[in-house]
A = this chain, B = another copy of it.
Amino acid sequence: MNAENIVIATAKERNLQIRYVRAPDGWVGPENFELTHGDVPVPGDGEVLVRNHYLSLDPYQRRQMIPGVEYVRPLRLGAIMEGRTVGEVLQSQHRDFRTGDFVYGDFGWQQFGVLRGEEIRKIDTTLAPPSAWLGVLGSPGITAWVGLLHVAKARAGETVIVSAAAGAVGSVVGQIARLSGCRVVGIAGGPQKCRLVVEELGFHACVDYRVADFEAMLAQATPDGADVDFENVGGTVFDTVLTRMNDFGRIALCGLVSQYNLREPQGLRNVATLLNRNLMLQGFRVGHYKEQREPALHQLADWVRQGKLRFRETVAQGLEKAPQAFVDMLAGHNVGKQVVKLV
């Protein structure tokens, strides 16, 4: 079977797509998206046609929907919803790619897509299954590595707090912290996630932020305070973490997922703690640490190969499930990396 045959075959298929059609006011929901059908595109010179196997759902995508948000590329209404995917090359007009290669790219919420060869990357599916390249070996994993080791500069012997500890980024942060000789305390929603974080991912402790005595529980889990906070959540969770920070602590501010769906953000109460305890807070995006990408990936792949770094996924089946899965992820229903399986 050669490339031309495949294209003839796929050209007969419809290309299921999901468009972002309405800006949310408060909680995002399926009504903000629309299912449409397009043609399977034909790659031009230097381009590659890909059948997407997995679509990545990430909290930062909700930030892209906030009106007037700056420094994060806003989504365009009516366009195919943006998103990262891994998939299989069906036809290549670029010399670096061949039919059957597995690649990573920003193909968006659709079954088939075309990008230039320079915009995509081959992935090694012998090291880890394709979907892992959207999680532990993708942006979430590299974000965890950069934020913990380069932004917050966690060192062996320190105590690290990680919020959204069962999520795609947090679950990797905690494991890297443990592998780096830190004591690591997770924060997650519900006893099931907390158990997973400790028993499967090897965190030293995990505290359920939904319990009434959350602050007391967090204090008990951090008897020596905390030197680093890898902050994914914001709101009252962040305010509570601040009560545990030691003098000269560092906060890697990676996300504020508790805030994205609120009409009025909660803000931060314990501002004085930042002053009183000489804390450093750094907002960051992994895209600004390009020089760390290769060393991070190298280290993460080594750990995956050695079985030291575990990864969990929550998989929705079928592109049409993507909107609801996106909403559920923002509500914390997922464990580990949330993906949508498209084939």
Contact = CB atoms under 8 A, between A and B. Distances in A.
Instruction: Tell me which of A63, A269, A280, A281 has the highest count of chain B C-beta atoms within 10 A of its own C-beta.
Output: A281
A259 B271 contact: yes
Contacts of A238: 271
Interface string A246-289: 01000001111001000001011111101111111111110010
Interface stretch (A65-73, A125-133, A137-145, A301-309): A65-73
Contact of A267 (B259, B267, B279, B281): B267
Contacts of A272: 66, 69, 234, 256, 259, 265
Contacts of A288: 278
A285 B282 CA distance: 18
A281 B281 contact: yes
A51 to B, nearest CB: 35
Given A247-B71, A272-B259, A278 B283 contact: yes
Nearest to A269: B267
Contact of A279 (B63, B247, B269, B283): B283
The count of identical subunits is 2
Contacts of A274: 253, 281, 283
Interface string A283-320: 11100100000000000000000000000000000000
Interface size class of A (residues with CB under 8 A): 20 to 34
Contact of A265 (B255, B271, B282, B285): B271
Instruction: Tell me which of A72, A234, A282 has the highest count of chain B C-beta atoms within 10 A of its own C-beta.
Output: A282
A268 B234 CA distance: 12
A271 B234 contact: yes
A298 B343 CA distance: 70
B277 A280 contact: no
A150 to B, nearest CB: 13
A111 B280 CA distance: 40
A271 B285 contact: no
A238 B275 CA distance: 13
Given A268-B267, A271-B259, A271-B268, A276 B69 contact: yes
Interface in A8-56: none
A280 B281 CA distance: 6
25 contacts: A69-B272, A70-B277, A71-B247, A71-B276, A71-B277, A234-B271, A238-B271, A253-B274, A253-B275, A256-B272, A259-B272, A265-B269, A265-B271, A265-B272, A267-B269, A267-B270, A267-B271, A275-B283, A278-B282, A278-B284, A278-B285, A278-B288, A279-B282, A279-B283, A280-B282
Interface of A: 63, 66, 69-72, 234, 238, 247, 253-256, 259, 265, 267-272, 274-285, 288
Given A63-B276, A71-B277, 18 more contacts: A66-B272, A70-B277, A71-B278, A72-B276, A234-B271, A253-B275, A254-B275, A256-B271, A256-B275, A265-B269, A267-B267, A267-B269, A267-B271, A268-B271, A276-B283, A278-B283, A278-B284, A280-B280
